[in-house]
Amino acid sequence: MSVLAELLKREVRLLCRRPGELLNPLVFFAIVVALFPLALGAQPQLLQAVAPGLVWVAALLAVLLSLEGLFRSDFEDGSLEQMVLSPQPLALLMLAKVLVHWLFSGLALVLLAPLLGVMLGLPLVCLPVLLASLLLGTPVLSLLGAIGAALTVGLKRGGLLLALLVLPLYIPVLILGSGALQAALQGLPSGGYLLWLASLAALALALAPLAIAAGLRISVAE
């Protein structure tokens, strides 16, 4: 636990020293959502109809944007190799690293989403569903994306390969997240979608750290 606490402190310090890595996904998320009303014009009904898919696609791409550098600096300065060789469970260390990254970037994205949702004309009654779906879905995106980041960390310009690896895994989260918001927009119950997202979150939390650790061992060994 002491090693885990030190790792959490280290990750927080590193993220605070690189504010650009935290702000870039948020700025990208806000710009993508803000440009659509300008492109589609002042059509409230059309904006409201496309809002569920738009918000979720923008959130997915923003999370993907933040993942390429997740392990890059640790790989370049040798810290990642030390983590792999340490006697501590690598899966637990990587889980802590990904969760800290999500708390600083993904959670901020979740908190920003209601403001952008109002801008797109979503009713206020839909905002709790928007928050809940993103709160359950973005950790899954981060954990699944970290698997791809672990496999491509040793490659130069591996961003395209990372996207090709993880985008198919993102499809169920995208369908469930936008479906929950679409159901709320139509006055239908969205609890089923949220329960499925919670199930995916629990599954990713249990299995993704093991896959991340295996991917890092392969990358470091190469």
Contacts of 110 (CB under 8 A, 6+ apart): 131, 134, 135, 138
**Are 168 and 116 contacting, i.e. CB atoms less than 8 angstroms apart?**
no
pLDDT at 103: 83
Task: Tell me which residues of the chain have a pLDDT lower than 50.
Answer: none
**Are 113 and 130 contacting, i.e. CB atoms less than 8 angstroms apart?**
yes
DSSP the chain: -HHHHHHHHHHHHHHHH-HHHHHHHHHHHHHHHHHHHHHH-S-HHHHHHHHHHHHHHHHHHHHHHHHTTTTHHHHHHTHHHHHHHSSS-HHHHHHHHHHHHIIIIIHHHHHHHHHHHHHTT--GGGHHHHHHHHHHHHHHHHHHHHHHHHHHTTSTT-HHHHHHHHHHHHHHHHHHHHHHHHHHHTT---HHHHHHHHHHHHHHHHHHHHHHHHHHHHHHH-
pLDDT in tens, 159-202: 778 888 889 999 999 999 999 999 998 888 999 999 999 999 99
pLDDT at 179: 93
pLDDT at 19: 66
